[in-house]
Amino acid sequence: MDHYLLLRIVHGGSAILLMLGLVAHWLMLWKASRRGDPAVLQRKLRRTRLISLPLLALLGLSLPLSGWWLVHLAGWPLGQMWLLGSSALFVVLLPLGLLLAGRLRAWAALGEVPAPVRLLRFCAAYAGLILLILLAISGLMGAKPV
């Protein structure tokens, strides 16, 4: 298999896995919070914070490197607007990920106490913004740079 094709598959697959993982965890935590069983919710929060978030962060941090490598192998000229747009979106994505991790940590620290509605809304808003930015980055990734 050609290295370029393999890299394209890995790069696209990691972007799709990142978005699907975020949506899956969003739905999983939403369903667990609606059920009202604090033990199940705490177990899912702990698993999300300790296993899933680091793996999703690793996938997210690998995207710029593999994207640069793809563009370099293809020989595309990178326009300044394309670089600036994708870099700015990635810079916005990192603090949102940290804010989401902090809100999940606060949610897990509550233990058996039900989470306030405001905390749940912040978690949902951060996850939604992260998903929106990932979709925008994927749009830039799929568009040929000018």
Q: Give dist(CA 38, CA 115) in Å, integer.
A: 10
pLDDT at 133 over 70: yes
**Residue 42 burial by CB count (10 A; 0-12/13-18/19+): exposed, middle or buried?**
middle
Judge contact between 93 and 134, C-beta under 8 A: yes
Q: What is the pLDDT of residues 58-79, one digit of tens each?
A: 888 888 788 778 877 877 776 6
Enter the pTM of the model: 0.76
The predicted model gives 103-128 an average pLDDT of: 86
Domain ranges of the chain: 3-142
**The CATH fold of domain 3-142:** Four Helix Bundle (Hemerythrin (Met), subunit A) (1.20.120)
Structure tokens at 51: 């296993």
